[in-house]
Amino acid sequence: MARREYATESIVVRWNSERCIHTAICLNALPAVFDTQRRPWIDASGADAAAIAAAVEKCPTGALIYERTDGAAGEPTPATTTIVPWPNGPLMVRGTVEVRDARGKLFDAGTRMTLCRCGRSGNQPFCDLSHRLAGFRDNPRVIDDGRESADSPSDVAAAPGP
């Protein structure tokens, strides 16, 4: 697993290649900083720390994270942990997340993750885009089961089971 750091005096950007599924969201958000044609592919001096932080926060997998070293606030953690299925793809998890192994030992932690839903990932429990080759398709109910929303835990508990 490759973990790399790219730093300026204002921000440290960390990249975990094992979690990256190459959505190109970072590339599109801030091409002056994120460019796979360049080595190193991240140039933390290519924009101000606030712009870099905003781009990193768009990374769905948590492969990119940052630490502000200039005294500014870091990435906010959502108050509620949510799990949302990406259509025909992984589970997008946001919030305080700990992934533990079968013995209960901490495997990984973060605030953004994409977890495999098709069962084919070679990088379990994380997505590696194997769902594309496997032809994984959602049950239509996962996309929209007709509910307005689950506004409270009691609404979720009252919802029909699988």
CATH code, 22 = 3.30.70.20
Residue 38 predicted with pLDDT over 80? yes
pLDDT of residue 128: 94
**What pTM was computed for the model?**
0.82
Report how many helices (DSSP H) and strands (DSSP E) the chain contains, helices first.
5, 6
Cα 113 from chain centroid? 4
pLDDT of residue 70: 96
The pLDDT > 70 percentage for the chain reads: 86
pLDDT of residue 138: 86
The tokens describing 9, both together, are: 């005096």
pLDDT of residue 147: 57
Residue 99 · residue 116 · CB < 8 Å: no
H or E stretch covering 114: strand 106-115
What's the rounded Cα separation, in Å, for the pair 35 and 107?
Answer: 30
On whether both 136 and 87 belong to a single domain, the answer is yes
Average pLDDT, the chain: 88
β-sheet bridge partners, residue 114: 92
What's the rounded Cα separation, in Å, for the pair 36 and 25?
Answer: 12
Quick one: average pLDDT of 98-122?
95
Residue 120 · residue 134 · CB < 8 Å: yes
What's the rounded Cα separation, in Å, for the pair 86 and 76?
Answer: 22
Here the CATH number for the domain that contains residue 101 is 3.40.5.90
| Domain contains 77 | no
On whether both 49 and 111 belong to a single domain, the answer is no
| Domain contains 162 | no
On whether both 37 and 104 belong to a single domain, the answer is no
**How does pLDDT run across 40-96, given as a tens digit for each residue?**
999 999 999 999 999 999 999 999 999 999 999 999 999 999 999 988 999 999 999
Domain that holds residue 134: 82-157
On whether both 49 and 91 belong to a single domain, the answer is no
On whether both 42 and 97 belong to a single domain, the answer is no
Quick one: average pLDDT of 107-127?
95
Q: Which one has a higher pLDDT value, 151 or 112?
A: 112
| Domain contains 140 | yes
Q: For 23-27, 58-62, 98-102, 137-141, which range has the lowest pLDDT when averaged over its residues? A: 137-141
Residue 150 predicted with pLDDT over 60? no
CA distances from residue 143 to 115, 132, 137, 138 in whole angstroms, order as listed = 17, 17, 10, 7
Q: Where is the domain boundary, 45, 68, 91? A: 68
pLDDT of residue 139: 81
> Looking at the 3D structure of the chain, how many domains does it have?
2
On whether both 64 and 86 belong to a single domain, the answer is no
- Is residue 115 classed as helix, strand or coil in its secondary structure? strand
